[in-house]
Amino acid sequence: MDLDASSVGGALGIPFASPTDEAWAQLAADAANEFVAPLPVANDPFTENQARHGATMLAVWLYKRRPGGTVEPGFEFTPTSDEVTAFYTLLQLGRHAPPVIA
């Protein structure tokens, strides 16, 4: 994956308020890149865009939970069921993984 702070900012649709916010966005993008890169969905040319979208959603979710972010610490830190379903579906995790044909 090649997400960066501008990918997170673009998904949010607003400019960063400070260099600190942009640095948090870069940390979120780096974390999403590290998580998604080894997944099979990220290494398949047919699902590359799907993986990028899932990674972007994950990075935005992480960014919103930064200190001083939009979600209070300890409140809704766990993804909602809709968010989990979206991440898992796009990244083909858990029960959303394609069946293994032996």
The predicted structure's pLDDT at residue 64: 86
For the chain, the structural domain boundaries read 5-96
The residues, ordered by sequence, that sit 6+ positions from 31 with a Cβ below 8 Å of its Cβ are 58, 59, 62
**3-state SS class at 1:** coil
The predicted structure's pLDDT at residue 98: 80
Q: What is the pTM of this model?
A: 0.82
The residues, ordered by sequence, that sit 6+ positions from 62 with a Cβ below 8 Å of its Cβ are 27, 28, 31, 32
| Mean pLDDT score of the chain | 85
**3-state SS class at 21:** helix
